[in-house]
Amino acid sequence: MKKILITLSLILIFNYGYSQSFYTNLKATGLTCAMCSYSTQKSLEKLDFIKSITPDLEATSFKLEFKDDAFVDFDLIQEKVEDAGFFVGSIEIVFNDNLKAENDEHNLINENLFHIFSDQNVETNVFTLVDKNFIRKKDYEIISGKTSHSCYETGVHTASCCSKHDNLKSNKVFHIKSSL
């Protein structure tokens, strides 16, 4: 019995240590009915890194949970929403643990690289995706003035832009801003 309990404990620890450590609340625009939401959900389900989708018809939003150890490509999420005929209004990323939100710093989470913007140094677990294609041009220009990293313009990690990061699943960098 003791061996079984130890084995089960190790399995739980192993699975917890390698699970995705964030989920996303996606706000879609242009949805007017349940069929709109359904077609958007069906389009998003085609992405192999999404584990589950929970729609909220009243808020025209979707909670997206991701498969363990998957690279999450927010550009593909946007593409699938647009394929369904709608638009991404905003993407909120909620991490399981608080992150230290220091302006212009990079954070590697499950081999997904995030570049953080913050008006003040705070600890939080809620961020908004602020990549070029996800925010208004005016907001993009304001945030651009707060960084010297070229990855904000290109969306790509390079040795000349960002500090060295190993074990990246992709050379993409996603930019997030603390919601506080």
Position 12 scores a pLDDT of 40
**pLDDT tops 70 at residue 2:** no
User: For residue 15, is pLDDT > 60?
Assistant: no
Query: What's the pLDDT at 70?
Result: 84
Contact by Cβ (8 Å): 90, 134: yes
Q: Could you state, in order of their start, the residue ranges of all structural domains in the chain?
A: 20-178
Q: Answer for the pair 119, 178: CB distance below 8 angstroms, yes or no.
A: yes
Q: Contact 23/66 with Cβ under 8 angstroms?
A: yes
User: Does the pLDDT of residue 160 top 80, yes or no?
Assistant: no
Confidence at residue 154, expressed as pLDDT on a 0 to 100 scale: 82
Q: Which CATH architecture has domain 20-178?
A: 2-Layer Sandwich (3.30)
Instruction: Please determine, for residue 93, whether its predicted confidence score (pLDDT) is greater than 70.
Output: yes
pLDDT value of position 162: 67
User: Distance between CA 118 and CA 165 in Å, rounded?
Assistant: 21
| pLDDT at residue 51, as a whole number | 96
In the chain, what is the greatest distance between 2 CA atoms, to the nearest angstrom?
A: 63
Q: List, for residues 36-56, the tens digit of each pLDDT value.
A: 999 999 999 999 999 999 999
Higher model confidence: residue 169 or residue 136? 136
Helices 74-83 and 34-44, packing angle to 10 deg: 140
What integer pLDDT is reported at residue 106 of this predicted model?
A: 85
